[in-house]
Structure 1
Amino acid sequence: METAGTPVRTVPRPGLRERKKQRTRDALVRAALELFATRGYDGTTVDDIAAAVDVSQRTFFRYFAGKEEVAFFVPRLAESHVVEAVRGRPPGEAPLEALRRAVLDGWDGINGAVERLVPLDLHLRVCRVIESTPVLFAARLRRATELEEELARVIAEREGLDVDADPRPRILVAAFGGAVRVTERRWSAGGDLTAAALRDLMAAHLDLLGPALAENWRTGRSPDRRTET
């Protein structure tokens, strides 16, 4: 309900030209991912993607610099949601918990953003393609470094730190990113390739991160026991 003297802010709807451009871009993304999932990344050309949408190669390059950029379009979308989720965590929350909760609490929202563009199953299939394609896996590691830098700066800002003077934000985010990559590799190589299985594995691994870094893994075993026969 509108109250007197309080204007209602509305987000302007994109114009017809912008909507047409967005539909073409989204169609190119969906076609590319479907081709990558069925033919493989190396078995798909830019011409194949353009033909699937009935546009020219020139039109494809108006939207994307190449196959790599379109392959990572949806992961980038998901990553941007994670960054915003970390930025929105309660200010008193410990940095590791803020990262963990941003991923796990925001899981449905991230998947919802993906599904507005492509079916979630298709996105997950392409995640496996990325893991198994050397050129994409190398690109993924490079892009992960960029994401970690962005997250480190968000964490530093939350904690009132200078990210270039205090190494803790970058160290923490690097460890967190490593746990995420281990999770994705194990999930990709496993038998249950559902989003639910990925979330469960992610939660289990993130719960292990703090203890893995801080605890003595041999707690409960005395030095004498190691020498017993």
Structure 2
Amino acid sequence: MSLRDRKRARTRQALVDAATELFERNGYQETTVADIAEAAEIGARTFFSYFASKEELLFPEADARVQATVDAIAMRGPDDGPVDVLLAALGAATAASDEIVSPLARLRLRLIHTVPAVRGRALQVQLAAAREIAERLAEAFPDRLTRVSAGALTGAFIGGVTGALEVLLEEAGEPGDPAVLEAALRTATEVALAPWRTGVP
């Protein structure tokens, strides 16, 4: 990364950290973009160079996780099936960052349940990810998946991760060991996708 890219990455993370703290302390609705920008020591206008809204800030690595999945599909081995590449993508995403089991993830889950705007953004993120991943899977495995079955498999994958993560974060307590949570998440996802190992030709 260039110096400029590193600086942008630090500022972006500072915004996420500031927002997480403010949302926890003051409440989501009560925290403004200006509050977050001030806590991160940047101007309010600069905030929008990084995130389009407070809601988007709660999903800072959504695009990176989709890209990890796309990369896993592209770099699949000759013997890898659709389930293999999805599990490889999950492993790559959790190895690159523990955001998925971080305090932000716990906060995000709570806000999805209580704030309609956050719930709406979560649905947008999930649907966009599912469409992109399903299309890439169908292209990569034309002899094994139709567009419909690729969509169903992707739904099982995303649903398995989401469902398992919700229970794991609720049961882990504060703060929860990221390595333990990530291992449990992978195991649960493998269980969710097990029927597809034999169900996909």
TM-score category, normalised to shorter length:
0.7 to 0.9
Q: Per-residue deviation at 1:133?
A: 3.4
2:190 aligns with one of 180, 187, 206: 206
Cα offset, 1:178, TM superposition: 1.5
Pairs within 5 Å for 1:92-131: 92-103=79-90, 105-106=91-92, 108-111=94-97, 114=99, 121-131=102-112
2:125 to 143, 146, 153: 143
Tell me the alpha carbon deviations over residues 149-185 of structure 1, each in whole angstroms, 9 at most, x when there is no partner: 111122122213698x642211211122221221122
Give the secondary structure class of the aligned counterpart of 2:61: helix
SS for the counterpart of 1:62 is coil
Q: Is the 8 A contact 1:35 1:44 kept in 2?
A: yes
CA distance in 2, matches of 1:55, 1:92: 49
Which residue does the alignment assign to 1:194? Answer: 177
The verdict on how the C-alpha distance between 1:137 and 1:161 changes in structure 2, with shifts beyond 3 A counting, is farther
Q: What stretches of structure 1 of length at least 5 have no aligned partner? A: 1-12, 216-229
Runs of 4+ in structure 1 over 6 Å off? 212-215
CA distance in 2, matches of 1:157, 1:14: 34
Report the CA distance shift for 1:75/1:57 in structure 2 as closer, same or farther (over 3 A): same
Q: Choose between structure 1 and 2: higher helix proportion.
A: 2
The structural deviation recorded for 1:100 is 2.2
2:113 maps to: 132
Considering only aligned residues, what root-mean-square deviation do their CA atoms show, in Å?
3.2
Structure 1 segment 170-189 matched on structure 2, within 5 A? 170-189=151-170
Q: Deviations over 1:115-139 (max 9, x none)?
A: 9xxxx74444434344433332332
- Give, as a single letter, the amino acid of the residue that structure 1 aligns with 2:77: P
Q: Which runs of 5+ in 2 are unaligned?
A: none
Structure 1: which amino acid aligns with 2:177? T
For normalisation by structure 2, the TM-score amounts to: 0.77
Moved more, 87-96 or 167-176: 87-96
| Greater C-alpha radius of gyration | 1
Q: Which whole-Å CA distance do the structure 2 matches of 1:60 and 1:172 have between them?
A: 37
Question: SS at 2:48's partner residue?
Answer: helix
**Percent identity of equivalent pairs:** 29
Read off the aligned partner of 2:113 and give its amino acid letter.
S
What amino acid does structure 2 have at the position aligned with 1:78? R
The residue matched to 1:106 in structure 2 has which SS?
Answer: helix
Contact 1:153 1:169 in 2 (8 A): yes
The one-letter code sitting in structure 2 at the alignment partner of 1:69 is: E
